[in-house]
Each structure stands twice: as structure tokens, then as C-alpha cells.
Amino acid sequence: MPSTDRGERSVRPEAGFGAEATSDKRTDHAYLQSSAVSGPSDCVQYAVDLGGLRLVTADAVVPYEPHGALDPARLAHLDRLLAETAGSPTIVALHHPPFRTLLGPLDEIGLKVGADQLAALISRHQRIERVICGHFHRSIQARWAGTLAMCAPSTAHQLVLDLGVEAPAVFAMEPPGFLMHAWDEAGTVVSHQVAIGEFPDEKAAASAILAAAAGGSLSNIETTVAMTAKEATATFQSAGKAAKAFRSAGRS
Ligand SMILES: [Fe+2]
């Protein structure tokens, strides 16, 4: 999503809002390859000019395996794609996180083969603004290969945040989300994490109103502590009225 230096936003429908595909283990390569992309015959890697930003994909799929791998042929092809417009702001996308997340056993199903070689390759090229991935169903960032590596949250369920060595990889029904990357004509790239849904719900909103009424804001908690019992009672009563009258966004 490009933006101008005047603060205007122009959305390019052809950019697809992240609809460009990267492969995962269930990918039908024959289908994707029929979409006229280039690269070694056993994978799908391509570059797209998004208008001021280039998207280059790496295909780390190992059919029917949960982990990712980049062999020398795929790395060499990726190197050529990155060299085509060397120096242009570029985002590299692949499905499997190439960096260690410290999420217990999950790192065993990241980019298990070729991660060091990919890091060396990425660090050789200029203006790699991001390396983006998914697969782990959590928002995770790391400085990696001289750039910022980002794992997007899932648009469905998340995985439990547990840094224990033996932590089980189990679902967590945290709010879904996605990453939105925006850039301007100067090539500045910013990444926003976006939660999908309406938050907070009525109870949380009532709590926020209560805190705001008592202290002025959620971050002004000292004021609340300094209140007398009489003041607190009056504040709770008025906050209760406000909470009853509250309607969440989108509801009448
Ligand atoms: Fe995956």
C-alpha cells in the first residue's frame, strides 16, 4: 500500500493487499506455475513491481512436510531475482520463518534447511526492507540478516505464546490479525499489525470508561489512587451510568 509524502493514501488494487501467494506444504505447484511465474521447475518464485516497492518470493516448501527448505537452485534463482533491480526497496516473502523465534518446538518446523545461506544472500543485497513470513500464527519480529524479519499473525487462530523448550504447539483463540506494509515515494516502508474485529467488547469498554472517569486516562492511574472514598463512590456511580449508556462501535 503506497502513500504519498503529502499524507494522502492511494490504494493500488492491482497490488492485491497481500494476496500474492507464497507456498506452504499444501501448495499445488502445478497450479501456481500455470500462473506464468518463473524459476526452477519444482518451485514457484517470482518478483512483482508494486510501484515503488518490489516483492520477491522464495519458495521453501517441502511437499507434505511441515518444515521449510531452500536448496542451492532456489537460492541461486532468488539471488538473480534480487539482482534484477538491485538497490530498489524490496520485501522478500516466504512461508517459513528463517529466524529462530525461541518458540520451543516450533523452530523445528521453520526454515530448517538453507536459513544460513539465505541470511548470507539477503545481507549481500541492498535495500531489503523486510523479510516477511507466516506459518507460526503469531506476530514475531527479529533483526535478521541485516534487515527486519517479521512473522505475521494468523487471520484465524493463533498459537499459544510459550517459550518453554517442551512447549506444545496448541491453538489459542486470540484475536486474528494481519500485517499491513505501507510505503511512500522515498522508499520508506512501515509495517502495521492490524487486529481483525471490534475491540474492546462492552465489558472491556465499560472498564475503560471507569478508568477514564476515575483518573482521566488509563495511563493516569496515580490520580485514581489519590481519590478519597467519597470521590471514588461518586466516580463509580457516574461511570456506571456511562457504561450502561455505552454502545459499542457499529451497534445502535
Ligand atoms: Fe504453514
- Domain locations along the chain: 2-195, 202-245
C-alpha 47/C-alpha 77 separation (Å) is 11
| Ligand 1 geometric centre to CA of 58 (Å) | 14
Residue 167 is predicted with a pLDDT of 84
Between the CA of residue 63 and those of 28, 60, 137, 186, what are the distances in Å?
Answer: 9, 10, 20, 39
| Ligand 1 geometric centre to CA of 249 (Å) | 34
| Ligand 1 geometric centre to CA of 198 (Å) | 26
Residue 144 is predicted with a pLDDT of 98
| Ligand 1 geometric centre to CA of 247 (Å) | 38
- What are the backbone angles phi and psi of residue 47, rounded to the nearest 5°? -125, 140
Residue 226 is predicted with a pLDDT of 46
Residue entry with cell 515515494: 185
C-alpha 70/C-alpha 111 separation (Å) is 8
* SS3 state at 90: strand
| Ligand 1 geometric centre to CA of 24 (Å) | 5
Give me 94's grid cell.
516466504
C-alpha 92/C-alpha 86 separation (Å) is 13
- H/E element, 120: helix 115-124
| Ligand 1 geometric centre to CA of 97 (Å) | 10
Give me 201's grid cell.
467488547
Residue 200 is predicted with a pLDDT of 64
Spacing of C-alpha 247 from chain mean position:
31
| Ligand 1 geometric centre to CA of 150 (Å) | 15
Residue 211 is predicted with a pLDDT of 65
Please give the chain's pLDDT, 252 residues, in tens: 554 444 444 333 333 334 445 666 655 555 555 444 556 777 889 999 999 999 999 999 999 999 999 999 999 999 999 999 888 999 999 999 999 999 988 999 999 999 999 999 999 999 999 999 999 999 999 999 999 999 999 999 899 899 988 888 888 888 899 999 999 999 999 999 999 987 766 666 666 667 666 655 544 433 344 455 666 566 566 666 665 665 444 444
Pick the CATH number of 2-195 from 3.10.20.30, 3.60.21.10, 3.20.20.140, 3.90.550.10: 3.60.21.10
Between the CA of residue 184 and those of 18, 50, 82, 89, what are the distances in Å?
Answer: 17, 12, 20, 11
Query: What angle in degrees, to the nearest 10, is found between the helix axes of 229-245 and 202-215?
Result: 140
**Pair 191, 130: CB distance under 8 Å:** yes
C-alpha 247/C-alpha 252 separation (Å) is 7
Residue 176 is predicted with a pLDDT of 93
| Ligand 1 geometric centre to CA of 61 (Å) | 9
